[in-house]
């Protein structure tokens, strides 16, 4: 039986954009059972936490309050966040702080590579905050980190989850030239919701970034992700999937948005596991090579299994 979640009327939205007359889920209301996870704290989790602190590294797992942090860290996987912990943009859903970023740490790529080696990873994910303040928009740090991991841990596949680089091709080419195995850039939500959820970004521009990555090197797997719960419809989600396929995206992830605080965009509703299963079927029908769709799915969740051909080999 599907659990009904109480919603209430809201006339303001501190996270940006109007939600007047929209039904939203109260911030402190009880979540449906399919969103419950175990609290982190196992021995591998504590080891990785110490490793990150000792090397003064950031992870998006912590910065974004990912619900899967306990499971992923116990599996010995983590998503490294380079270029500091302060973003130059202010998305209404994101828990990463925004403001004036810190100076780029030139030694960070080597520390990430050392951590990857010490963790014994076979697939690592490297992401960053938006760095619109930098001349290369942060592309050089991605390229340096990829190359450092190749030298230190040559058996590890490297996935990058990058910003849109403002749609500029030169920064993108710099990243692709370093030969990541997977190039990931999340469109996050449907085009209609960009003005309130992704100010400073553009859905079509993000799609072009993904297509350009594929055209620059067809050996690089392209990947993108969306979340539900901000007020989108099923039809809008499927239309967004179709546009991503038109731009040669191969791997898709879909998960439930969880509101980090009362200052962020509210959850309009929690989508059911059955709806996630429906989206997965429809995405495969559109031609995606690998799809992960579920309430707790995040872009980097079981990322090693999302690479085309890898899921069957690891199942």
Q: Is residue 11 part of a domain?
A: no
Asked whether the predicted pLDDT for residue 80 surpasses 70, the reply is yes
Q: Is residue 134 part of a domain?
A: yes
The per-residue pLDDT for range 57-68, each reduced to its tens digit, is: 766 556 556 666
Q: Is residue 2 part of a domain?
A: no
Q: Is residue 114 part of a domain?
A: yes
Question: What is the number of structural domains in the chain?
Answer: 1
Q: Is residue 27 part of a domain?
A: no
Look at residue 40 in the predicted model and tell me its pLDDT: 60
Containing structural domain, residue 92 = 38-314
CATH for 266: 3.20.20.70
pTM: 0.84
The per-residue pLDDT for range 132-190, each reduced to its tens digit, is: 999 999 999 999 999 999 999 999 999 999 999 999 999 999 999 999 999 999 999 99
Q: Is residue 238 part of a domain?
A: yes
The per-residue pLDDT for range 184-229, each reduced to its tens digit, is: 999 999 999 999 899 889 999 999 999 999 999 999 999 999 999 9
Percent of the chain with pLDDT over 70: 79
Average the pLDDT over 243-264 and give the result.
94
Q: Is residue 16 part of a domain?
A: no
Q: Is residue 285 part of a domain?
A: yes
- Count of all residues that appear for the chain in the document: 315
């Amino acid at each position: 039986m599907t659990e009904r979640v109480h919603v209430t009327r809201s006339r303001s939205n501190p996270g940006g954009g109007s939600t007047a007359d929209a039904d939203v889920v109260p911030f402190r209301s009880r979540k449906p059972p399919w969103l419950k996870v175990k609290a982190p704290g196992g021995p591998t989790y504590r080891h990785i936490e110490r490793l990150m602190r000792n090397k003064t590294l950031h992870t998006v797992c912590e910065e974004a309050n990912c619900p899967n942090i306990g499971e992923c860290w116990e599996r010995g996987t983590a998503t490294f966040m380079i270029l500091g912990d302060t973003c130059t943009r202010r998305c209404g859903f994101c828990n990463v702080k925004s403001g004036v970023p810190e100076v780029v740490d030139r030694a960070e790529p080597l520390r990430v590579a050392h951590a990857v080696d010490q963790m014994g990873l076979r697939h690592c994910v490297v992401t960053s905050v938006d760095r619109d303040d930098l001349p290369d928009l942060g592309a050089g740090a991605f390229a340096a980190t990829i190359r450092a991991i190749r030298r230190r841990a040559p058996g590890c596949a490297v996935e990058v989850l990058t910003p849109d680089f403002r749609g500029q091709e030169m920064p993108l080419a710099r990243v692709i030239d370093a030969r990541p195995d997977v190039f990931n850039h999340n469109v996050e939500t449907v085009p209609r919701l960009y003005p309130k959820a992704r100010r400073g970004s553009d859905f079509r521009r993000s799609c072009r970034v993904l297509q350009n990555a594929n055209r620059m090197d067809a050996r690089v797997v392209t990947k993108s992700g969306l979340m539900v719960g901000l007020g989108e419809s099923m039809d809008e989600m499927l239309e967004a999937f179709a546009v991503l396929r038109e731009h040669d995206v191969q791997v898709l992830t879909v998960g439930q948005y969880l509101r980090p605080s009362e200052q962020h965009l509210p959850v309009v509703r929690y989508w059911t596991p059955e709806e996630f299963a429906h989206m997965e079927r429809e995405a495969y029908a559109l031609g995606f090579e690998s799809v992960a769709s579920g309430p707790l799915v995040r872009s980097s969740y079981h990322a090693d299994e999302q690479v085309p051909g890898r899921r069957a080999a690891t199942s």
